[in-house]
Amino acid sequence: MQNAILEQLPTLHIALDRPIEGRSEQLYRVDDPSCLELKLAADARLKLLVVRSQAATSRVQIELGERAELVLAELFVADAETTVEVQQGAESRLQLTSLQLGGGVGRYVVNLMGAYAESRVNGLFALGGAERSSLTIRTNHQVADCRSYSEVRGLAGGEAVGRFDGMVYVAPDAQRTDAFQQNRNMLLSEKARIDTKPQLEIYADDVKCSHGATVGQMDQEAIYYLRQRGLDEQQARRLQLTGFADDLVMRCGCEEMCAALLEALNAKLNRI
Amino acid sequence: MLKVTNLHATVDGKEILRGINLEVKSGEVHAIMGPNGSGKSTLASVLAGNEKFEVTEGSVEFEGEDLLDLSIEDRARKGLFLGFQYPVEIPGVTMANFMKLAVNEQRKFRGEEPLTAAEYLKMMREKAKIVELDTKMTSRAVNEGFSGGEKKKNEIFQMAMLDPKLAILDETDSGLDIDALRIVATGVTKLHTEQNATVVITHYQRLLDYIVPDYVHVLYKGRIIHTGDKSLALKLEKEGYDWLINEQQ
């Protein structure tokens, strides 16, 4: 994979025996870690891009101390399998983007363990050929006053199969939870398939939770409209795909990270 | 500029256009009126190349070329513009990006260099003024969340950007309040020159107070059954279509 922005990013070296301290604006990258443990001390801040270019299995464990902030993206360019577990302390913030461009399995489990913690976990898969992707996002609201937002979008062409499993769990004591989960999908061919299963499991009574899922096709009216303005059919289709996918990636929380992810996404969209 | 001869078209096997004859010359404004279901929007769609419709008979010449042979986009690039009755929303695609692509596609087709970012911005600001469009709108997604009036202004803004030879405006006045109607109609008038032509499809005479037509055609059951000057629109507004339809029978 050629990606000018990615290639310039410094690799993150982590000392296993102590947590990451301090606030850093530097974006780091890590390539194909089979096992990764990240601990952010209270008030620490880190921006990290994990690249999955090997079809391997891996496990990531993350702990965010109080008020810690993590901006994390996982970029799948190979059919990798990862499980990411996050424990969030009070007032910590997580912004996680999972971008699957070559199939893969991504499981994300976020435990909101301290009050006023906030998690934003977004995912996108763009698949062609016979690729398969599965994205699972489970958010556990264990305590009161936390917020979680999760948006997943799926694009599948060829004979690709995509799958989304979403679960927002709200424990009995997790009052005043604010949770939102949305999944939108677009099928680009007759043979492509996307299964979606968004779920809520709520045991507290004072909560604000919503979820939804849609599976649709490309809008033929929009293609006609764009062609009437002089774009050819391929440009019209491409523009619609870009419109569907880009803004989710643009919200990854770090400009440089967004640029790297968008470059990878664009290259993939050209091939679907 | 445009010559439609004995045009027949069907949708799902049902004949909607049954022999349209129409000639539009440079500098002219034509109005097409007629009761609901008479085929007005179908005519606009067929001219634009909408693939839902099948042309079964007749011919259309545009600038000396066989229009029906051209793809939707080539018709557009040659200067045919359709103002949509229901402009389509395109989530996630900004107006500015969309128009930049469209303008540069047209320039490429004419063998011109693409506009620089500065040239494009300048052009966008100038053209937005024509329809009193806030340039902030251009950073929003195409038609998404636009009001009825904003959508129609946005159609005329696109027309201004693309500077077509022939603009076909399909019920551009529908869903507009009086102020928006004035802005949209005045915008169209500003864009009119001796080198281009406009065909407005409308139900209401009030649009024609602003856009004064040289010819008013009445379409009924897929044929033009009567052609007159601007006074015909006033007569139709007062008396309806019955007198013309009765003449037919």
**Domain total in chain B:** 1
Return the CATH number at B211: 3.40.50.300
Best to test chain B binding among A218, A228, A246, A248 (most B CBs inside 10 Å): A228
From the list B41, B33, B49, the residue with the least C-alpha distance to B16 is B41
Amino acid at A108: Y
B73 CB neighbours in chain A (<8 A) are 227-228, 230-233
User: By the CB < 8 Å criterion, does A266 face chain B?
Assistant: no
Residue B182 confidence class, pLDDT cut points 50, 70, 90: very high
ipTM of the complex: 0.96
B231: its two tokens: 């006074």
Q: Do B105 and A243 touch (CB under 8 A)?
A: no
Interatomic CA distance for residues B55 and B57, integer angstroms: 6
Q: Pairing mode, if any, of strands B14-24 and B2-11?
A: antiparallel
Best to test chain B binding among A218, A219, A229, A251 (most B CBs inside 10 Å): A229
Please report, for residues A80, A195, B175, B202, B234, the alpha-carbon distance to residue B18 in angstroms, rounded to integers and kept in the order given.
Answer: 60, 47, 29, 20, 26
A242 CB neighbours in chain B (<8 A) are 92-93
B12 pLDDT above the threshold of 70: yes
Q: Which residue on chain B is closest to A249 by alpha carbon?
A: B92
pTM score of the predicted model:
0.87
* Digit-coded pLDDT (tens) for B63-112: 999 999 999 999 999 999 999 999 999 999 999 999 999 999 999 999 99
Best to test chain A binding among B73, B94, B99, B109 (most A CBs inside 10 Å): B73
A222 CB neighbours in chain B (<8 A) are 88-90
Enclosing domain of residue B75? 2-248
Instruction: Give residue B85's pLDDT.
Output: 94
Q: Which of A221, A231, A247 sits opposite B102 (nearest CB)?
A: A231
Distance from CA of A185 to the nearest CA of B (A): 13
Interatomic CA distance for residues A154 and A211, integer angstroms: 16
Interatomic CA distance for residues A50 and A32, integer angstroms: 7
DSSP class of residue B90 equals: E
Q: Average model confidence (pLDDT) for chain A?
A: 94
Interatomic CA distance for residues B198 and B213, integer angstroms: 9
A18 pLDDT above the threshold of 90: no
Instruction: Give residue A1's pLDDT.
Output: 61
User: By the CB < 8 Å criterion, does A230 face chain B?
Assistant: yes
Instruction: Give residue A8's pLDDT.
Output: 85
Q: Which of A226, A228, A247 sits opposite B92 (nearest CB)?
A: A247
Provide the strand spans (E) within chain B: 2-11, 14-24, 29-33, 54-62, 65-66, 80-83, 90-94, 141-142, 166-170, 197-201, 215-220, 223-228
* Digit-coded pLDDT (tens) for A98-130: 999 999 999 999 999 999 999 999 999 999 999
B149: its two tokens: 């009036």
Domain boundaries defined on chain A: 4-269
Instruction: Give residue B89's pLDDT.
Output: 94
